[in-house]
Amino acid sequence: MFLSVVVISVFGLAISFFTRETPPGSAMTLGRNSLTLVILRVEEVLVLGITKNAPDRGEFYIGDVDIAVSPAMQSEEEELQQVFTHRVLFRPLASETFYLSLPFEGDDFIVVLMAGDEQRSIRLRAVDAD
């Protein structure tokens, strides 16, 4: 009886682990750091959230990271491409989070990150903050 309770509990935990909802946003690596990026809509303001997690072992990038964000779809009437740029500093911490207020409206964005000679880009859709 005890063994069957343990087995059922283990299966329940395994199922909940594999079927849990993933947080909104997308993951990437930059300089061996794991990054999770999300654009949140907080009332009428868009906020880019970047969470950096350093690897447990080995070297990883520490230093300036340049960030550029632009709407993915812009109207044909706009003559200049709108681009928001910012720089953050990755410190030698296991984890850190950055929040940047974006001066745009819309739902679809291209985010480019550059650290040293490494560059990554990702397309993100804004999600409502709960």
Q: Over the stretch 79-88, which tens digit does the pLDDT of each residue have? A: 667 899 999 9
Whole-number pLDDT of residue 12: 58
Q: What is the mean predicted confidence (pLDDT) over 100-106? A: 91
Would you state the pLDDT for residue 43? Answer: 86
Would 16 be classed as within a structural domain?
Answer: no
The enclosing domain of 89 has a CATH number of: 2.60.40.1470
Closest C-alpha among 25, 37, 46 to residue 97? 37
Higher-pLDDT residue of 76 and 38 is 38
5 belongs to a structural domain: no
Domain hosting 75: range is 24-128
Q: Over the stretch 23-59, which tens digit does the pLDDT of each residue have?
A: 456 899 999 999 999 999 988 899 999 999 999 999 9
In a domain, 19, yes or no: no
Q: Establish if 1 belongs to a structural domain.
A: no
With the C-alpha atoms ordered 115, 117, 118, 124, is the resulting torsion angle positive or negative?
positive
Q: What is d(CA 112, CA 68) in angstroms, rounded to the nearest whole number?
A: 5
- Taking the whole predicted model, whether its pTM rises above 0.85 is answered as no
If one counts the domains in the chain, the total is 1
The residue with tokens 């063994």 is: 3
Q: Is residue 13 part of a domain?
A: no
